[in-house]
Amino acid sequence: MTGEVSMNWQGVTIMISSLALVIALSLYCVYHLVRNRE
């Protein structure tokens, strides 16, 4: 296995922000879909 590279603080920040963004957008849609169930 290869293991020479380590994650820097910028990589951690971008990864967490990107994941948070798509999860938040999905939850926002789910919230409105549930609230306005047919």
Partner 1 sequence: MNSSNEGWASRIGLILAVASGAIGLGNFLRFPGQAVQNGGGAFMVPYIISFLILGIPVCLVEWTMGRMGGSHGRSFPFIFKEFLKGYPLRISGTIGVMIPVMIYVYYVFIESWCLAYVYYFLTGGLSLGSSEASGTAEVIAHSSDFFMNLTGAKENGSSFESSIFIFFLLCFFFNFFLVYRGLQKGLEAFAKLAIPLMGICSMIVLIRVLTIPGIESGLAVMWNPDWSLLAEPKVWINAAGQIFFSLSTGFGIALVFSSFLKKKDDVVLSSLSSASLNEFAEVVFGGMITIPVAFLFLGATVTAFGTFGMGFIALPAVFSMMPGGNIFGALWYFVLFLAALTSSVTMLQPGVLFLEEGFKLNRKKSSFLLFIFTFTLCLPIVYFNKDFAALDIADFYVGTILIYILASIQIFVFYFKVGVDKGVEYANEGSILPFPKVIQWILKYITPWFLLFVFLSFCYMNLPEYLDKMNPEKMGQLALLEGKSAHDAEVKAYIARYVVVGIILIFFLLYAVVSRAFFLREKKESV
Cβ 6 to partner 1 shortest distance, Å:
6
The CA distance from 38 to 36, in Å, is: 6
Which residues between 9 and 38 bind partner 1 (CB under 8 A)? 10-12, 14-15, 18-19, 21-23, 25-26, 28-30, 32-33, 36, 38
Q: How many residues sit close enough to partner 1 to count as binding (CB under 8 A)?
A: 27
> What does each C-alpha distance from 16 to 12, 19, 23, 38 come to in angstroms?
6, 5, 10, 34
Tokens 């920040």 belong to residue? 13
Taking the complex as a whole, how short is the minimal distance between the CB of residue 15 and partner 1, in angstroms?
Answer: 4
